[in-house]
Amino acid sequence: MRNYLRDPKEFQYVYRRGNRYDGTFLTVFVINNEGLHHRLGVTASKKAIGKAVQRNRAKRLLREAFRSNELPLNALSSKYDWVLNAKSALLEVKLTAPAEEFAGIIDRISQRESRTDVT
């Protein structure tokens, strides 16, 4: 079962309280959700991306980047709420680049988890 963030209050909570990770193609906000599943929210603003067709493509790319990283996500010890924000550079690339960038962010979170488990 896939869970999504839908309510603007949920997005705002992740923005305010979560950790931010900036990349070339996306910005990721993430916070532990104490739940059974990862939850995903995706945004592509008119200011950053432009026309609706381009925003829809950007959101599809981000959702697919999330889906393609299912194994690393499941390897994390906690479940998180994720908000992925598209950047304008996302429109210039194919799926592999944002998926690899998101995988790198997951790896950074995994390393942070392992450091906090030790202390």
What pLDDT digit, counting tens, does each position of 54-77 carry?
999 999 999 999 999 999 999 999
Would you say residue 58 lies in a domain? yes
**Summary mean pLDDT of the chain:** 93
Provide the residue range defining the domain that includes 74: 3-113
What pLDDT does residue 119 have? 38
Q: What is the CATH number of the domain that holds 82?
A: 3.30.230.10
Residues 24, 101: Cα–Cα separation, whole Å: 8
Confidence of residue 117 (pLDDT cuts 50, 70, 90): low
Domain count, the chain: 1
Rounded to two decimals, the pTM is 0.92
Q: Is the pLDDT of residue 35 over 50?
A: yes
